Amino acid sequence: MGLNKKDFTLLIIVAILCVFAPFILNPFPEGSAMAQFNAGYPDLMQRLVIFGIFAIGFNILFGLTGYLSFGHAAFLGVGSYAAIWMMKLLTMNVIPAIIISVLVAGLFSLLVGWISLRRSGIYFSILTLAFAQMSYSLAYSVLTPITGGETGLQPKVNDPRILDGALAAGETPRANLFGLQMNQSYEMAVGNWVFTFNAGYYLAAIVMLIAFYISIRIFRSPFGMMLRAVKSNQQRLNYTGLNAKPYTLAAFVISGMYAGLAGGLLVAMDTQVGAERMFWTASGEVVLMTILGGAGTLIGPVLGAGFIKYMENIVSKINKSILEQWFAFMPDGIEDLLITLVYPFIGKGWHLTLGILFMLVVIFLPGGLVEGGQRVGRLFKRKKPADDKPDGKTTPAE
Amino acid sequence: MSNSKLTRRGLIKTGAVAGAAGLTLPTYLRADAHAGYLNAPQGDTVTLGFNVPQSGPYADEGADELRAYELAVEHLNGGGDGGMMNTFTSKALQGNGILGKKVEYVTGDTQTKSDAARASAKSMIEKDGAVMITGGSSSGVAVAVQALCQEAGVIFMAGLTHSNDTTGKDRRANGFRHFFNSYMSGAALAPVLKNAYGSDRKAYHLTADYNWGYTTEEAVKSSTEAMGWETVAAVKTPLTQTDFSSYIAPVLQSGADTLVLNHYGGNMVNSLTNAVQFGLRDKQVNGKDFQIIVPLYSRLMAKGAGANVKGIFGSTNWHWSLTDEGSKAFVQSFGTKYGFPPSQAAHTCYVQALLYADACERAGTFNPCGVVEALEGFEFDGMGNGKTLYRADDHQCFKDVLVVKGKENPTSEFDLLEIVEVTPVEQVTYAPDHPQFAGGSLGTCNPGA
């Protein structure tokens, strides 16, 4: 596979985590008070790996070259629109949709990158942000005939779909992989636990593993080394007679294609696109994911993506009546006090909780969650000094 | 969320234990065949999903919607004073939950983004076993969630969504809308405007640059042109615009004597404030007083625009100052519980929850196909809008529309609008294949199994 032992182990660990995610994410039995925190349902598992792909791609640009793109959601959105059109016009099979989403996002990122990479630092960030907001505004209003504007696009019964046969009466078009529907699930009940194995999730997980493998190869390649050189000192690189632009542009396009892939997969799992997918907050989110997990590390962005999506989908759904259930065993006064104290941080307050956690991570664990894991790991094997590790899995690339 | 063990999954588990002697039993989620439809409530509770914007631009509306839902659940379970259940013409609801099952609910945040709304709705369906999703405060979200519910096989009862598309080109068999729409706003406003301002006006439209803006502009334009008005220009404004001065200035040069603001929420608050500050309303054009019209009003918007709304015409789905029995009962129980009168968003959501529960009772099942059948062509009264019909062709409610105007002397921060006229339902009814609604088809109901 062309991987050294350490990277291979990491890939295997990630693969095992992906395969057993339905178990790992559903640790609490059904009906228990903690079942609220179970994340092992298809939609969230799909989102975890898809945004993992998005963040892995973003990390190839930001983690390696240090170019902070603030408009990556545009590529995600463009990929999604391409995919949904493929489904409307060609077939509900997800393969053409995913392929075209990668290609279209690649072309679009080539254009954006070619222009934006004339500048670096904050100017580059602002340029990409401008492109993304432009795409968002166009999709939301001017391009309404193509993008559906505010109401977005969904496959409809009367779309052409030239490769598919006619639908049976009463059937709705569903995304599938040669007949295997993406929302098809298999439920396994063990005692009080129910584990859901979803076809779409496993497809997304396989794609994520491939994306992860490619990302390892890029990190370890001479090309990756050049990108790190760009990050550490671009001027010196220029003085040695090397033109950094083709390298940064290639990294930009690769990460744009990753974003497009994520966009295509989002459509494959949940067949709809809205323009908000390209809003600047979505671009900001992937930056948060990468930094939270650990920029420049291999596994960090995946962890960060998982962390943020978990918060968004689980914490935001805790409401007051659930709090009342939790604290019901306490005396009235204390119960009310606790509810008042906790309430601002749950439900609609999940942004606040996320913000606080992000601040804590950035202040105390500048290397992100990966650094946290590293520190915990060091507690258990004190005798080994930490500096024997080559960069990659554990150390942010500087 | 449901703290009962007897959920859909609970039943599967029981079956698994019995069938495979404690080992595992494969079950297809999609073929949840015990009841013939997805998320069939097991045990003595039923879970509904309230998917409202808790953050983002429409968080205020969302908060009010959630209050209304909590009130509706209380009433359905037999608590409180029963609210509109007492005035509702259908007497199927007993105050013992729905079909004898206690109503429980889960909540989610749509963030007014279709992606987030769908993610939240999906988790309600997949994780919490919700059999109905309701809520939302924008058409983009309503259309996205409606399509999701159609695919998944649960009922969607739309919240506040005014765009024609929801029951027009994006209509779905599993989706229902009680709220009125752009076309109805235009049709209801036109005769009132004719009486107030005459039939030879020149109108200038400022339109928010997205779907809802387009359908509203089209609706108002065609209704006013039909009574003799002339449309001088229709200018699109970006949704994120906060200062509309540059759009207001050309209005006076255009020779128009009426300004139509097809704006909602913060857009409307800002554009109206700008227009009034420019002194448009003190101007005389073509020998007539200059007038401003806001097709869709809400109390929360009127509050934002303050004194600027005085005397300005618009339309609304419902207003708490209505004096029919249903409205009085609702305002009474909402006011008792929360201390202030409900908004139109709260009203439509409360009514939708009750209508769903009633349809289940009448159908005798939670099966979406049974509910669809019970709601299609359903006529009712006593819910604050007079006689109302849920039309079978497009799942849109047809009822009287209120034309309101900003009150000259408001007595409180809630008393900002006064009802000018109640436009009868005949005037706002249209054919299901009207050009403004064409291009959609309901398909057939999907029970998800």
**Any B CB within 8 A of A46 CB:** no
Q: Which residue of B has its CA nearest to A272?
A: B144
Specify the pLDDT at position B92: 92
**Chain B residues with CB-CB distance to A148 below 8 A:** 211
**Any A CB within 8 A of B209 CB:** yes
**Any B CB within 8 A of A142 CB:** yes
Say whether B151 and A183 touch across the interface (CB within 8 A). Answer: yes
Choosing among A26, A28, A80, A150, which should be mutated to test the B contact, i.e. which has the most B CBs within 10 A?
A150
Give the number of other Cβ atoms within 10 Å of residue B393's Cβ: 14
Distance from CA of B151 to the nearest CA of A (A): 7
Distance from CA of A86 to the nearest CA of B (A): 18
Choosing among B64, B105, B126, which should be mutated to test the A contact, i.e. which has the most A CBs within 10 A?
B126
Specify the pLDDT at position A395: 52
* pLDDT digits 0-9 by tens, B131-155: 999 999 888 899 999 999 998 999 9
Distance from CA of A123 to the nearest CA of B (A): 23
What ipTM score was computed for the predicted complex, to two decimals?
0.85
Say whether A194 and B24 touch across the interface (CB within 8 A). Answer: no
**Chain B residues with CB-CB distance to A137 below 8 A:** 238, 240
Q: pTM to 2 decimals? A: 0.87
Distance from CA of B121 to the nearest CA of A (A): 10
Specify the pLDDT at position A131: 95
* Residues within 8 A of A (CB atoms), B 371-410 only: none
Can you give the pLDDT of all 398 residues of chain A as single tens digits?
Answer: 688 899 999 999 999 999 999 999 998 888 777 888 889 899 999 999 999 999 999 999 999 999 999 999 999 999 999 999 999 999 999 999 999 999 999 999 999 999 999 998 899 999 999 999 999 999 988 898 899 888 889 888 888 888 887 777 767 788 899 989 888 888 888 888 889 999 999 999 999 999 999 999 999 999 999 999 999 999 999 999 999 999 999 999 999 999 999 999 999 999 999 898 999 999 999 999 999 999 989 999 999 999 999 988 888 888 888 888 888 888 888 888 888 888 888 877 888 998 999 999 989 998 999 999 999 999 887 655 555 544 445 555 54
Distance from CA of B140 to the nearest CA of A (A): 4
* Residues within 8 A of A (CB atoms), B 220-249 only: 236, 238-240
**Chain B residues with CB-CB distance to A42 below 8 A:** 122, 126
Nearest-by-Cβ selection for B55 from A47, A271, A348: A348
**Any A CB within 8 A of B7 CB:** yes
Q: Is 50 exceeded by the pLDDT of residue B21?
A: no
Alpha-carbon distance of A152 to A270, in angstroms, equals 13
Specify the pLDDT at position A382: 66
Say whether A31 and B139 touch across the interface (CB within 8 A). Answer: no
**Any A CB within 8 A of B91 CB:** no
Specify the pLDDT at position A194: 86
Distance from CA of B156 to the nearest CA of A (A): 16
**Chain A residues with CB-CB distance to B369 below 8 A:** none
**Any A CB within 8 A of B214 CB:** yes
Nearest-by-Cβ selection for B13 from A41, A186, A189: A189
